[in-house]
């Protein structure tokens, strides 16, 4: 196996376990509520704690990858994550669990920036299929986790064993990072790493990441509570509903791998946004129909599948994807993951679960407008090139 293949396989394995952890939180929320004696609107702060850690980890790590070898730092971040995952299901205090979630997120922020940026450095302009494959493997982990948590809860009534199983799967990764040489940024990117950031396209792209990640985490994290709260399905079946979302997203990313080498990123993003708008509109129109929830979950999974990696690929065509620039995109996504699920949790308590669809539909409409603005900015950049 060549060095590039070893590096790529390591990033793929890393995204499997981060997918496991991110999607485990939604089905585990009732278990954490019982563990800490908290209601759903209170325990939803765990989304914000985790996302806040990811945000800080992203900010801290962005410039570091432009200046120093990345893998020793990623090994340290992964080791922090393993320890936090072991400890998270133990405290009876909500704030203690939130603090552990924050520290886990701190490590994940560094891992996210490092994996996405390093993959671009390894594969250059041909990164499109590899980027979609990277996020496909995230989907593999996200697909497994909800069913794992649901089954563990059904048999034990506690989330601790699910989190410890995930920690065991993560354990080899810090050592593999230490044994694998770090990639080096291409010369053109190194030359621009210390230059000024093109703020207009970076901020608009980061805003689009904010909206998309907030919608993805909001729906995948709360569809479990949505379905059970409206009495549309039993608890274990709701876990399968969450798994179905990630199964469709995972399959969609797999199908997009060959497409990414042949279809322009902007066209794929238009198709993705059209699907997101259609299915959220359908759920807003029929919020309490069980069949509609299953259909929408399938449709959103496929529609959201390629959005994140394709947006990264689009940005990489027009911007120098340094660690610093990539970190701003992750910051946008982290802010979305931190704020939007928390907002939805508050609205659940105040207005009821049916608030999910219209709120996400409004965000999708804003995302479509932001995307149109981004395409105009990139077109002007091409005209001045």
Contacts of 369 by beta carbon, 8 Å cutoff, 6+ apart = none
**What CA–CA distances, in Å, run from 358 to 105, 242, 280, 362, 378?**
29, 19, 8, 6, 30
Rounded to an integer, what distance in angstroms lies between the CA atom of residue 196 and that of residue 213? Answer: 27
Does the pLDDT of residue 214 top 60, yes or no?
yes
Rounded to an integer, what distance in angstroms lies between the CA atom of residue 94 and that of residue 84? Answer: 15
The count of other CB atoms within 10 Å of the CB of residue 266 is: 17
For residues 348 and 33, is the Cβ–Cβ distance under 8 A?
no
Q: How confident is the model at residue 324 (pLDDT cuts 50, 70, 90)?
A: confident
Give the alpha-carbon dihedral of 135, 182, 210, 81, to 10 degrees.
80
Structure tokens belonging to residue 75:
């090994």
Nearest to 326 by CA among 237, 200, 193, 179: 193
Contacts of 215 by beta carbon, 8 Å cutoff, 6+ apart = 276, 304, 336, 340, 360, 363, 364, 367
**What CA–CA distances, in Å, run from 304 to 135, 205, 308, 311?**
11, 16, 8, 11
Q: How confident is the model at residue 196 (pLDDT cuts 50, 70, 90)?
A: low
Report the pLDDT value the prediction gives residue 282, as an integer from 0 to 100. Answer: 93
**What CA–CA distances, in Å, run from 262 to 131, 175, 273?**
14, 37, 19
Nearest to 130 by CA among 143, 117, 113: 117
- pLDDT above 90 coverage of the chain, percent: 29
Residue whose structure tokens are 């995948």: 220
Rounded to an integer, what distance in angstroms lies between the CA atom of residue 302 and that of residue 252? Answer: 5
Q: What share of residues in the chain are helix, strand, coil (percent, to 5)?
A: 85, 0, 15
For residues 208 and 307, is the Cβ–Cβ distance under 8 A?
no
Residues 149-170: tens digit of each pLDDT = 878 877 877 788 888 888 998 9
Q: How confident is the model at residue 128 (pLDDT cuts 50, 70, 90)?
A: confident
Residues 277-314: tens digit of each pLDDT = 999 999 998 887 888 889 999 999 999 988 998 898 88
Distinct helix (H) and strand (E) counts, the chain: 16, 0
Question: Taking CA 29 as the corner, what is the angle to CA 23 and CA 33, rounded to the nearest 5 degrees?
Answer: 160
Report the pLDDT value the prediction gives residue 31, as an integer from 0 to 100. Answer: 80
Tell me which of 47 and 362 has the higher pLDDT. Answer: 362
Q: Where are the domains of the chain?
A: 3-384
Read off the pLDDT of each residue in 26-35 and give the average, rounded to a whole number.
81
Q: Which fold has domain 3-384?
A: Growth Hormone; Chain: A; (1.20.1250)
- Up-side HSE of residue 97: CA atoms within 13 Å toward CB? 27
Report the pLDDT value the prediction gives residue 190, as an integer from 0 to 100. Answer: 60
Residues 44-53: tens digit of each pLDDT = 788 878 878 8
Rounded to an integer, what distance in angstroms lies between the CA atom of residue 54 and that of residue 175? Answer: 22
**Helices 94-123 and 323-351 sit at what angle, rounded to 10 degrees?**
140
Report the pLDDT value the prediction gives residue 376, as an integer from 0 to 100. Answer: 92
Report the pLDDT value the prediction gives residue 370, as an integer from 0 to 100. Answer: 96
Does the pLDDT of residue 143 top 90, yes or no?
no
Tell me which of 267 and 334 has the higher pLDDT. Answer: 267
DSSP, collapsed to helix, strand or coil, labels residue 186 as coil
**What CA–CA distances, in Å, run from 239 to 138, 150, 355, 362?**
18, 6, 20, 26
Tell me which of 42 and 377 has the higher pLDDT. Answer: 377
Q: What is the pTM assigned to this prediction?
A: 0.75
Contacts of 25 by beta carbon, 8 Å cutoff, 6+ apart = 46, 47, 50, 221
């Amino acid at each position: 196996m060549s060095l590039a293949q070893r590096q790529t396989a390591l990033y793929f394995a890393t995204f499997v376990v981060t997918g496991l952890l991110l999607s485990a939180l939604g089905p585990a929320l009732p278990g954490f509520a019982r563990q800490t004696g908290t209601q759903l609107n209170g325990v939803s702060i765990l989304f914000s704690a985790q996302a806040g850690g990811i945000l800080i980890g992203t900010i801290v790590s962005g410039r570091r990858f432009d200046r120093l070898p990345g893998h020793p730092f990623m090994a340290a971040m992964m080791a922090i994550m393993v320890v936090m995952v072991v400890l998270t299901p133990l405290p009876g205090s909500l704030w203690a669990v939130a603090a552990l979630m924050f520290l886990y997120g701190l490590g994940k922020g560094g891992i996210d920036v490092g994996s996405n940026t390093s993959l671009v450095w390894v594969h250059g302009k041909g990164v499109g299929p590899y980027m979609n494959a990277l996020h496909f493997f995230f989907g593999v982990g996200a697909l497994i986790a909800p069913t794992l948590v649901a089954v563990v809860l059904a048999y034990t009534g506690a989330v601790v064993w699910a989190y410890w199983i995930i920690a065991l799967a993560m354990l080899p990764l810090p050592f593999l990072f230490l044994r694998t040489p770090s990639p080096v940024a291409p010369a053109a990117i190194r030359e621009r790493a210390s230059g000024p950031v093109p703020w207009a396209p970076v901020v608009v792209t980061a805003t689009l990441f904010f909206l998309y990640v907030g919608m993805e985490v909001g729906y995948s994290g709360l569809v479990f509570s949505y379905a059970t709260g409206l009495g549309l399905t039993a608890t274990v079946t709701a876990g399968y509903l969450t798994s179905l979302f990630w199964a469709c997203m995972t399959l969609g990313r797999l199908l997009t791998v060959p497409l990414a080498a042949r279809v322009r990123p902007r066209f794929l993003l238009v198709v993705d946004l059209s699907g997101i708008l259609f299915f959220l509109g359908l759920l807003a129109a029929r919020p309490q129909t069980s069949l509609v929830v299953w259909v929408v979950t399938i449709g959103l999974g496929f529609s959201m599948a390629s959005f994140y990696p394709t947006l990264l690929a689009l940005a990489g065509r027009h911007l120098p994807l340094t660690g610093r620039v990539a970190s701003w995109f992750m910051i946008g996504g982290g802010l979305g993951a931190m704020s939007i699920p928390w907002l939805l949790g508050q609205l659940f308590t105040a207005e009821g679960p049916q608030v999910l669809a219209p709120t996400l539909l409004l965000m999708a409409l804003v995302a479509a407008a932001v995307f149109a603005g981004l395409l105009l900015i990139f077109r002007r950049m091409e005209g001045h090139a």
